[in-house]
């Protein structure tokens, strides 16, 4: 059994699937990614700080022995968090992709590294555009909402990418693929509360996307209907209505309960480092530390929606 077959078999035990492409495609990946960013009509400083600063295409210079890029998709359901506030219980959601990042990524890398290391190969941590890489590798297809869809998972998945010095001849690199259903379906377009999905163009209007605004710290624009907010971070409107997700959207994990004290500390915007250690651990384990400063505003908005 060759190494790739071993990796696929081991990942299958965890419900994960993967593809491998040649590292020679990184310049092409960079060119395509940068071209897509030029069309975004959003704050360039936001793009630089929150997107470009997390991507590094110079990996082959840092690690000259890299020969292959491995992209892995793991099932990732929506997460439900319980908040106690003013003697009431509020069930609020986190979309797939956001939570359990460290745990899932660490487990997947451990599985693959053990197989590669046992055969004398190394693994390298890299930060590349995962969604584009998944589609280019044939692992995923794009939906009209610009979200990637995996067979057997829909859009409820988490992507993990790393590199290796494993030589690989069976490169799965291909042209971009779009879900066939999207050519006739308008479900996400009709359900988008801000009009970010258009029939006239494939790329969504990022300047209209609710996710873009609730990942920023500035006040929400007046044109956004407060009732549009539906998730602690991100947005689930296009994914929840999508027919491709019909089999997967009912899976929900009740992940964590925040006491009245915990909830009040978060809503008051107490600096993270001043929170009780147990609360810090909760937030960190949910991979929400990066978005902690957004939580007071976003949770308040969702609570108000529940009250009205």
Concatenating the DSSP letter of every residue in 132-165 gives HHHHHTTSEEE-TTS-EEETTTBT-EEEEEEEE-
Beta bridge partners of 150: 140, 154
Summarize pLDDT for 48-96 with one digit per residue, the tens. 555 655 788 999 999 999 999 999 999 888 889 999 999 999 999 999 8
Q: How far apart are CA 230 and CA 221, in angstroms?
A: 16
Q: 227 lies in which domain range?
A: 3-307
**CA 55 distance to own-chain centroid:** 14
- CB burial class (10 A; 0-12, 13-18, 19+) of residue 45? exposed
pLDDT digit string (tens) for the chain, length 308 residues: 689 899 999 999 888 999 999 999 999 999 988 887 776 655 556 555 556 557 889 999 999 999 999 999 998 888 899 999 999 999 999 998 887 665 677 788 888 999 999 999 999 989 999 999 999 999 999 999 989 999 999 999 999 999 999 998 778 899 989 999 998 999 999 999 999 998 877 778 888 899 989 998 989 999 999 999 999 999 999 999 999 998 887 676 778 899 999 999 999 999 999 999 999 999 998 889 999 999 999 999 999 988 87
Claim: this prediction has a pTM higher than 0.75? yes
Q: Please count the structural domains in the chain.
A: 1
Residues 19-34: tens digit of each pLDDT: 999 999 999 999 988 8
């Amino acid at each position: 059994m060759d190494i790739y077959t071993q990796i696929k078999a081991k990942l299958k035990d965890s419900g994960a699937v993967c593809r491998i492409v040649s590292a020679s495609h990184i310049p092409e990946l960079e060119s395509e990614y940068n071209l897509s960013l030029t069309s975004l009509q959003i704050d360039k400083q936001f793009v630089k700080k929150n997107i470009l600063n997390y991507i590094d295409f110079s990996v082959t210079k840092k690690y000259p022995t890299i020969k292959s890029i491995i992209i892995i998709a793991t099932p990732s359901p929506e997460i439900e968090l319980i908040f106690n506030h003013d003697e009431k219980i509020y069930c609020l959601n986190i979309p797939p992709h956001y939570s359990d990042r460290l745990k899932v990524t660490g487990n997947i890398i451990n599985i693959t590294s053990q197989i590669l290391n046992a055969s004398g190969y190394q693994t390298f941590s890299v930060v590349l555009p995962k969604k584009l890489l998944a589609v280019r590798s044939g692992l995923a297809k794009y939906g009209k909402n610009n979200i990637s869809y995996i067979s057997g998972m829909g859009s409820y998945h988490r992507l993990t990418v790393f590199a290796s010095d494993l030589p690989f001849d069976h490169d799965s690199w291909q042209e971009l693929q779009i879900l066939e259903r999207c050519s006739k379906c308008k479900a996400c377009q009709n359900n988008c509360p801000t009009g970010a999905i258009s029939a006239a163009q494939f790329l969504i209007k990022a300047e209209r996307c609710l996710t873009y605004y609730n990942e920023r710290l500035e006040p929400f624009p007046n044109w956004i209907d407060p009732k549009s907010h539906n998730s602690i971070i991100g947005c689930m409107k296009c994914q929840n209505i999508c027919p491709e997700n019909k089999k997967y959207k009912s899976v929900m994990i009740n992940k964590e309960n925040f006491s009245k004290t915990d909830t009040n500390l978060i809503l008051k915007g107490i600096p993270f480092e001043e929170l009780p250690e147990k609360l810090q651990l909760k937030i960190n384990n949910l991979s929400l530390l990066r978005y902690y400063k957004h939580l007071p505003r976003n949770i308040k908005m969702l609570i108000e929606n529940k009250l009205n």
